[in-house]
Amino acid sequence: MSATKRRLVPEDLYKFVTVSDPQVSPDGEVIAFVRTHIDPESKEPRSHIWLVPAAGGKPVPFTQGPKNDTSPRWSPDGRTLAFVSDRSGDRQIWLIDRHGGEARQLTQMRHGASDPVWSPDGRYIAFTSAVGPDDRRELLTRAKTEADKKEEEKQAKDEARTFTRMRWRSDAGGIRPERWQQIWIVPVPGPGEPMPKPVQVTWGSYDHAGATWSPDGRLIAFSANRTEDESFRIRDIFVTPVPGEDSPAARASVAPPEPGAQQPGEEEAKALAERLRKAAEEAEAAFQPRCVTGGIGVVPAARVSPDGKTLAVIGHQNEYPKATPPKIYLYPVEGG
């Protein structure tokens, strides 16, 4: 007998469950995905990572709790999942063993971190995190304190602002701060090792996204609109070498402070800030990414062929504004 039809009521939202972002493990046996529902107590969306056998079977929760876990990404050997979580306050990158256990925090970026991408050898993870023109570099790997957050809120309410960007506000996040999304890399530590030092890969007053490693791990491809009109939505694919340990980019970053570590004195802190500032200026001046696509509007990133010679991108030249069907393009990594 069919159920009686009725109108939807607000309480029905608590019954809705969505799944997204499926990620197949390297051995093809397990699929990690994000399950989202509305929490009845907080009345907010709550996302966690679940696992299900690829051959079929009952899905089981892999992460849980009152916070959100998203963006599961398998390590190349399939032993570890990187994911994004706000369990420490802001959204950061975390690691967890495939067979469970306590998750380990990998990043502690001042403005959060997202979009983890493993290097082919599993030694590094690329991610995105914002950097503002007034950010002190020695603070970029220190989580915001409650005092920091209250001061930002106070300034947002009390100070008049001048906006120079066309897209100065978003529906989801409100007023956009004067920060730019940059791509970073961070080494993956072993169990019990301290949180490592992240290194900024991209530089400049542009948003960078869609990091993709070359098979040999020496290059990173990314999408960006590096023109004066940053509001223009057509992006290109660029390629840049991964910064080495002795590069200006590496010298412009510091590791997150260990718990209980003694704070440097005033003079030492000033010297560190000046040293990092100069290294950052040198790194930005040296950053010369090579544009591969040249005018094809890319949506949203590239994929590198197994031999590392070809980039596949989806994009268009905006022939029909807001109605141009995308095409697949192939480009030599070395240009041409």
pLDDT tens, position by position, 34-72: 999 999 888 899 999 999 999 999 999 999 999 999 999
Cis peptide before 10 (omega within 30 of 0): no
| Residue ranges covered by each domain of the chain | 10-144+169-256+272-298
**With pLDDT > 90 as the criterion, what percentage of the chain qualifies?**
60
pLDDT of 94:
98
Q: For 205-247, what is each residue's pLDDT tens digit?
A: 999 999 999 999 999 999 998 887 766 667 889 999 999 988 9
What top-level class would CATH report for the domain 10-144+169-256+272-298?
mainly beta
Who's near 322: CB < 8 A, 6+ residues apart?
none
Give the torsion through C-alpha atoms of 286, 206, 274, 105, to 10 deg. -110
C-alpha span between 61 and 304 (Å, rounded):
33
Planar angle of CA 128, 132, 134, nearest 5 degrees: 150
- Give the DSSP letter of residue 142: S
Report the SS3 class of residue 124.
Answer: strand
Report the SS3 class of residue 19.
Answer: strand
Answer whether 76's CB lies under 8 Å from 122's CB.
Answer: yes
Q: For 180-209, what is each residue's pLDDT tens digit?
A: 999 999 999 998 899 999 999 999 999 999
C-alpha span between 121 and 119 (Å, rounded):
6
258 versus 289: the higher-pLDDT residue is: 289
C-alpha span between 287 and 185 (Å, rounded):
15
C-alpha span between 166 and 231 (Å, rounded):
6
Answer whether 54's CB lies under 8 Å from 26's CB.
Answer: no
C-alpha span between 75 and 95 (Å, rounded):
10
Distance linking the first and last C-alpha atoms of the chain: 66
Please provide residue 19's backbone torsions phi and psi, each rounded to the nearest 5 degrees: -125, 150
C-alpha span between 113 and 119 (Å, rounded):
17
Answer whether 198's CB lies under 8 Å from 141's CB.
Answer: yes
CB burial string 266-291: b at 16+ within 10 A, e below: eeeeeeeeeebeebbeebbeebebee
Mean confidence (pLDDT) of the chain? 89
What are 124's strand-pairing partners? Answer: 187
Burial of 55: CB neighbours in 10 Å, binned 0-12, 13-18, 19+: exposed
Q: With bands split at pLDDT 50, 70 and 90, how would you rate the model's confidence at 13?
A: confident
